[in-house]
Structure 1
C-alpha cells in the first residue's frame, strides 16, 4: 500500500470528530474528494469520513464526546456527526452484496480494502488519517499524479453496480483528468444502454456539473465518441464547444454560469425534458436559442444583457464574428424603454388592432437601433398594419 502525506484542512471540528470516532480504537479516515482535492491543491467543499465503527457505534462514540449525531442514511451505514455547527457524513466500511444498476445491498466490513473496492474511481478511493497520512489501497495516487481516470477494479463491474457512473466518469474526466482509461471508455460505450434506467433528474445533475468544468471539451468529445452524448442529449452537437471555451476566455464571462450557454451551444432537441431542467433553466435555454437568431441589441432589449452577451459568445463559437461595438450596443439596448404604451393609441385603435400597431411600432423602433422618436412612432403606429398571420390588412 503506497503511503504519502497530505495537508488536510486545519479544522478543529473535523479533528474533534475524528478523535471521537477513534477513541476506542476504531479507524476514522477522511475519504474521497477531500483527500483528492487536497493532494491536487484544489478547493475542498464537503468532507466525508469512513470508519470501521458500525453506525450504532458511531452514534455512541459521538455522543460520548458531546457531539450530536443524526442517522441520515442509517440503513446504508451513514450517520451525520455535527461538531461546531457543521455536519460530517460518517459512513461505516462496507462491501456490496448485491446491486441492480441503481441501488446496492451492502454489508458492513472491518476491511479498508473492502470499502475501497466498492468505490467508483481510484482517485476517489484515497483515505487520510487525522495526521495526514494517505492510505491508497487501489493505486489511486499514481493515477491522480498522471490525472488518469480509472475505475476501481473491473470497469464493467463498477458500471453495472450503478449505471450513473458512466456519466460520473465523463464528469470527473472533465474536472480532474487529462487521460481516460481506454478500458473504461470501452465499458461506457458497451453499457450505455443502462442509462435508460436512470432518472432524468440524476442525469441532469451530472450534465450540469460536467458542463461547469473549466474546459469540458475533451470529456464531451469522448462522450460523443462513446455514443453516450446522443443517448442523454439527443440532437446535441458539441463540435464548436472548444471555440466557445476560447470565446469565453477572450471576452470574459464574469459571474455568468457556464453550463447554460454551453448546453445552448450544443442545440439538443429538447434539453429541458432530457435533463429535467427547472422552469427558469428551460426559459433560459429558449431565450438563448431565440437570441442567436437576433441582432445582439435586439436580444438585449428582449431578454436582457446577460442572455444577449452569452448569445454573442455562442454565435462567435459557430463562426459568426460579433459586430463592432457589440458590448456597448447590448448595454444600451438592455436599458432602452419603448416610448409608446397602449394608452397613447386607445383614441384611434382598439382590440387586436391596438396590439398589432404597438408590436409593429416596437419592431420598427428596434430595427432603427432605438432611434425613432415618439412622434415618429405614433405616426407609424396609426398607419394600417398588415396582419402577419393572414397577410390581410389590419383593421386600424
Structure 2
C-alpha cells in the first residue's frame, strides 16, 4: 500500500465489497477531496515520474478546487520535474489527454503551467484559450473533447511532443487550421460535417476570446446537409484530365459562394 501513489488510491475491497484502508488515510482524504502523495512525495514521484501528471489529473477529477493543491505535493513536483524527460512521449500524451477529458481541467492545467510542467511536456503551449473553450463546450451541450481542448493549448509540435496517433495528429492540424482560417460556418459544415464544424467554430471563438456568432451552429448544420449537384461526367467531354478537376473545383466554389442555391443546370451554364 505504501508504494501506491496517492492516499486515496491505497484503498482495497474484499470479495464482499468491504473497503480496507491499511494506511488509515485514504478514506479521510477521499471524503475531504484532499489529494496527496503517500509518505515522501519526492520518493513516490521518483518511482515513476508519470505520477507528476497523474497528480494533476486526479486533482481535476477528485480534488477540492476551493482548497487548492497540497503544498508538499507541488514542492516535490517542482523539485523533480526534470524527470519528466525520462518518460516516453506516448505515456505523456496519453496522460495529458486523460486530464483534458475531465469535465473541467482548467484549474489543474493552470497549475501545471505555473509549475512549469506544461511547457516541459508541450513546449510553446498556453492555457489562454482553454477556459473559454470549456465554457463554450458547456453552453453548446457538448461532452468534453480532449482532442479539441488539446488544440486550444496550441504548442510547437504536439504530434511529436505527445506522440499522437496519425488520426489524432491529422484532426489536431485540421482543427487548428480551420479555427485560424476564414471559412464560413456553412462551408465548414459542408466540408467536415456538423459535429466537427461545431468544434472548429468553438475553437475559433475561444482563440479569439469572443462569443460564438449567433446562427453559426445552425449554418454549419445546414451546410452539412448539402450535396454538390455535379459529378465529373456532367462536365465531360467538355473538360478532361486536369481541366476537369479544376472545373469541378470552380463549380463547387461558386455553388458554395451562392449559398448552395445553384442547381445542376445553373452551374453548367456558368462554367
The normalised TM-score by structure 2 is 0.89
Q: 1:151 matched to which residue of 2?
A: 37
Relative to 1, partners in 2 of residues 1:266 and 1:131: Cα closer, same or farther, differing over 3 Å? closer
Report the more deviating stretch, 168-177 or 281-290: 281-290
| 1:173 maps to 2:63 | no
Q: RMSD of the TM alignment (CA)?
A: 1.9
CA contact (8 A) 2:189 2:223 kept: yes
| 1:290 maps to 2:180 | no
| 1:368 maps to 2:258 | yes
| Superposed displacement of residue 328, structure 1 | 2.2
| 1:119 maps to 2:4 | yes
| 1:140 maps to 2:26 | yes
CA contact (8 A) 1:166 1:188 kept: yes
Q: 1:68 matched to which residue of 2?
A: none
2:50 to 164, 174, 188: 164
| Superposed displacement of residue 221, structure 1 | 0.4
Gaps of 5+ in 2: none
Q: 2:228 matched to which residue of 1?
A: 338
Relative to 1, partners in 2 of residues 1:329 and 1:160: Cα closer, same or farther, differing over 3 Å? same
Relative to 1, partners in 2 of residues 1:376 and 1:322: Cα closer, same or farther, differing over 3 Å? farther
Report the more deviating stretch, 244-253 or 315-324: 315-324
Q: Which has the higher strand share?
A: 1
CA contact (8 A) 2:228 2:252 kept: yes
Instruction: Report 1:33-72 matches (<5 A).
Output: none
Q: 2:159 matched to which residue of 1?
A: 272
What's the secondary structure of 2:228's corresponding residue? coil
| 1:239 maps to 2:124 | no
Looking at structure 2, the residues matched to 257 and 239 of structure 1 have their Cα atoms a distance apart, in angstroms, of 18
String of CA shifts for 1:271-315, please: whole Å, max 9, x gaps. 222222222222221222233122221111111111101112222
Report the more deviating stretch, 174-183 or 364-373: 364-373
What's the secondary structure of 1:120's corresponding residue? coil
Regions of 4+ moved over 6 Å = none
CA contact (8 A) 1:117 1:138 kept: no
CA contact (8 A) 2:21 2:27 kept: no
Q: 2:199 matched to which residue of 1?
A: 310
CA contact (8 A) 1:297 1:334 kept: yes
Relative to 1, partners in 2 of residues 1:323 and 1:278: Cα closer, same or farther, differing over 3 Å? same
What's the secondary structure of 2:187's corresponding residue? helix
2:211 to 317, 321, 324: 321
What's the secondary structure of 1:117's corresponding residue? coil
Q: 1:206 matched to which residue of 2?
A: 95
1:352 to 242, 247, 253: 242
String of CA shifts for 1:218-240, please: whole Å, max 9, x gaps. 11001111111111112222112
What's the secondary structure of 2:82's corresponding residue? helix
| Superposed displacement of residue 367, structure 1 | 2.3
Looking at structure 1, the residues matched to 184 and 126 of structure 2 have their Cα atoms a distance apart, in angstroms, of 23
The normalised TM-score by structure 1 is 0.63
> Considering only CA atoms, is the larger Rg found in Structure 1 or Structure 2?
1
| Superposed displacement of residue 257, structure 1 | 5.3
Q: Which has the higher helix share?
A: 2
How many residues get paired? 264
Looking at structure 1, the residues matched to 243 and 269 of structure 2 have their Cα atoms a distance apart, in angstroms, of 15
String of CA shifts for 1:64-123, please: whole Å, max 9, x gaps. xxxxxxxxxxxxxxxxxxxxxxxxxxxxxxxxxxxxxxxxxxxxxxxxxxxx21110111
Looking at structure 2, the residues matched to 225 and 352 of structure 1 have their Cα atoms a distance apart, in angstroms, of 54
Relative to 1, partners in 2 of residues 1:222 and 1:138: Cα closer, same or farther, differing over 3 Å? farther
